[in-house]
Amino acid sequence: MKSNSIYKLFSRYILVVLLIFSSHSFAQEKMTDQSKTENKEIAFLLFDNYETLDVFGPVEIFGRLADKYTLKFYSLEGGVIKNSHKVSVMTEKLTTATKNSYIFLIPGGMGTRKEVNNEVLINWIKEISNSSDYVLTVCTGSALLAKSGLLDDKQATSNKRAFSWVVTNGPNVIWDKKARWKVDGKYYTSSGVSAGMDMALGFLADRHGVDFASNLALEIEYNWIKDKDNDTFKAK
């Protein structure tokens, strides 16, 4: 009888241990799943002669949030992409881009003058933009997005010095000559070069609050222009 009681107690002890272990494993698995969900991909499109700050301004901002975002660089053919400042970046093929990227960011630069006529690239821009949660363009990157037709009947802006050229690539876009950056649905378009940083902070403010974005701007000692509707620079 005594041995039987000991056996029952031992069995109950083993059962409790197993329940604790399984609960702990489930909690760990749940936490892992949540962390995967929270870590969202930002896909940066690169091409020859992209504008340096168009890319690395937002990279500096989003890159500080490694617990929330994963940054990846893509180009049409993959490999090393260089710009006029001799900044080289190793990229992955655009065809391998995640079909459900959280953000697809398209920079500007002198290279856009050539790439607006690259039908293969424009088609990929359209496909990836359609499958992304948000699409951000900096400077003349809006010309590439406009060429895809996705900005038709939407409000957008671009580099003010190149504004007259950009609008020729999207005659059905509602172009704003005054804005620092524009938001229309999932599309964020910014004015020239440094405006991409203001837009990136504006995007974070829309998702996480103004205080969150302001604190991040303070971290990088950047004077964030919060007024998206009025750019210091004017289109000719």
Band of pLDDT at residue 15, cut at 50, 70 and 90: low
Q: What is the pLDDT of residue 88?
A: 95
Q: Is the pLDDT of residue 146 over 80?
A: yes
The proportion of the chain whose per-residue pLDDT surpasses 70, expressed as a percent, equals 84
Phi, psi of 100 (to 5 degrees): -125, 50
List the chain domain ranges: 1-38, 40-219
Q: What is the pLDDT of residue 39?
A: 87
Closest-CA residue to 234 (of 156, 163, 155, 141): 163
3-state secondary structure (DSSP) of residue 231: coil
Q: Which helix (H) or strand (E) holds 61?
A: helix 52-62
Between strands 88-93 and 103-106, the pairing is unpaired
3-state secondary structure (DSSP) of residue 107: coil
Q: pLDDT averaged over the chain?
A: 89
CA distance 235 to 224: 21
Residues found in the chain:
236
Q: Read off the pLDDT of residues 61-90 as tens digits, 9 standing for 90 and up.
A: 999 999 999 999 999 999 999 999 999 999
Output the six-digit token pair for 70. Answer: 């994963």
CATH 3.40.50.880 fits 40-219, yes or no: yes
Q: Is the pLDDT of residue 205 over 70?
A: yes
Residues facing residue 71 across a β-bridge: 42
Distance, C-alpha 73 to centroid of its chain: 11
CA distance 54 to 158: 12
49: left (phi over 0), alpha (psi -120 to 50) or beta: left
Band of pLDDT at residue 31, cut at 50, 70 and 90: very low
CA distance 39 to 184: 24
> Is the CB of residue 101 less than 8 Å from the CB of residue 124?
no
95-99, long-range: CB within 8 Å, 24+ apart, which pairs?
A: 95/124, 97/43, 97/72, 97/128, 98/41, 98/43, 98/72, 99/128, 99/131
Q: What is the pLDDT of residue 143?
A: 98
Band of pLDDT at residue 235, cut at 50, 70 and 90: very high
Angle between helices 210-219 and 195-208 (to 10 degrees): 140
> Is the CB of residue 182 less than 8 Å from the CB of residue 188?
yes
Does 126 or 98 have the greater pLDDT score? Answer: 126
Cβ atoms within 10 Å of 191's Cβ, excluding its own = 32
